[in-house]
Each structure stands twice: as C-alpha cells, then as structure tokens.
Amino acid sequence: MPTPSSQAFCASSIIGTGSYMPEKVLTNDDLSKIVDTSDEWITTRTGIRERRIAAEDQATSDMAAEAARRALADAGISAEEVNLIVVATVTPDMFFPSTACFVQKKIGATNAVCFDISAACSGFLYALQVARHFINTGNRSTALVIGAEKLSSLINWQDRNTCVLFGDGAGAVVIRRAEEETDAPGRVLSTVMGSDGNLADLLKVPGGGSACPITAENALSRPNTIHMEGRETFKHAVTRMCQASEQALEMAGLKKEDITLIIPHQANLRIIQAIADRLGLPHDKAFINLDKYGNTSAATIPVALDEANRAGRLKRGDILLLVAFGGGFTWASSVVRW
C-alpha cells in the first residue's frame, strides 16, 4: 500500500462529470411478474425500487460514450484534448478490442491511449488511480475515466436473489493535472486499493472465459450469469470499505469529521448505512441513488458523483469520500477535495 509521503505530490483534479442511464425502467413490481418476489421483499432487504435496463442493441460502449460526452461538456473541453481513456467494466462489448477503443471512436478522441480495467464494482476507483498515475508522472495530461456496465446481459432472470439487484448505466469524469497543487478544485487527495483473491468465489460470473467456455453441454445451467454468496459478501464488503475509508482519510491528512459527503458504491442500503455507522457519521451524509438504479457495478460511483454535482450538492472545498467493493474480492476508496 502506498505511504502518505508517496502521494504527497499528486495533483490530479476532476474537472468534469457526466452520466447516462438507459430509458427503460424496470420496477420491483415488474420483476414480481417474472420471478417469485415482491416490492416489499426487495425494498426492505436492499433499498432498491427500480433499475434501468439498456436496449437490446445498446452496448456498454454506447452508454460509456454518452456519459463521456456529457463529462467533456461539463469540463468545457473537446474530445481531441483527451490523451487517455480508461474504461472500468465487467461487461465489455467483446473480449477485444477494449471497450475504451470503441468509446474513442464514438466520441472522436483521436489522441487518446485506450484500455479497460476489470475490478468489478471497484473498477471506477481503480481506473481513477491508474489515470492519476499517468497524469502525475507527466506521461498524460487529460484523461477520461469511465465506469460503464450492461449487467442485464449477465443476469439470470430466474434467480430472485441476484436479478433484483442489478441495472445498467454509465458515469464518467475528466481528470487533469492541476496547475495549482495546493488549491486545485476537484483535487483527488488520496486513493487506497486492495484485493483478496481468496474470496473470488463470493461474487463471480464463472462461465464464458477460458476456464469455463460456454458449450452446448453447459449452456442450460447458465454459467455466464452472476453468482453471489450474499451474506459473506455483505460482511467482507462492510469491513473492507471501512478500512479503506480510514486509510484514505489518513493519507489525505484528514479525519472522519472532515467528510462533507460519502459517495459509496450503490449495492445495498444496509451496507451503506453500516459503513456510515462504523465511521460514526449520520446516514444523511451518504449520497444514495440505488433506489432508482440498483447496483450498476463500476458505474455506481461516477453516476452518483455526477448527480450530486448537477444537483448542487457539491460546494468548493467539500471533502468527498468515495468508497467501493466488488468481486475479486476488490475494494477501494478515494478522498476528493471539491
């Protein structure tokens, strides 16, 4: 893990945010017509009331590109000024080329180097840190960091324990090296990342890769859909997110009391509330939109950040805590001074 001194000269700032959510709304009542569940069952256990579902002909890169365009407009820069695109996703358009290359083509970012990151729901914060390193070393100056998912393509609609949780969408930020290191708005102060492959079986899509290709013999068992051990995932998620949050605050030289707003991964309301409780913060300090969108994996944090930004929730000087967990098992947290 990086020491505080190793991050002392970091000066990358978020200068624009954007998001895109598909038009189709799938409510809990809609789900109750296709699987044994109810609005009351889903809402009390997760806090989710509805989610967005991408159109059949809409790929992850389509949503990512639209979120990117909106982030560029918010930043007031052109696509040609971007020289790095990092897309965090577990639902790429295809195994290769990278989804980032498709985004590059769609938005006209002709000067960008492009690649994807796979860290499940932690992917956006992983991608943010990777882009930050490129910028802070002087290798790149302006980056698009995108979290985008079409999780509906991985859902088993007969599994009521998982199909109620997930949705589709995309969020993006533009980050740039700050000219004034000590007073740059949107400055990313610190980032913590962690992984534990021993917990890989808690949350996974076992089929579709080289370990378990989809065949005529196994297709009916739907191995290319999301499998999750809910209780164990919950326990480890809360523990790791709290640890990462405390480490990121320490790196930034801040205390829990300095936090203006928590923007957590939107997986489950109980997880979000448990994190706030362990950090000793009121629940209303956590930004929540999972009631509208469910869990959109790598897209949850950039979408929530954009919504908070456009709703006027963020003021200059606010301290934001971004924190996530995901399959892998992965976790990450960042502190941003708006």
Which residues participate in catalysis according to the annotation? 121, 265, 295
Residue pair 114/85 in contact by the 8 Å Cβ criterion: yes
How deeply is 270 buried, as exposed, middle or buried, from its count of CB atoms within 10 A (0-12, 13-18, 19+)? middle
Structure tokens at 246: 């405390």
Q: Give the C-alpha separation, 2 to 40, whole Å.
A: 44
Nearest to 202, CA basis, from 45, 332, 331, 328: 328
125 closest CA partner among 313, 321, 271:
321
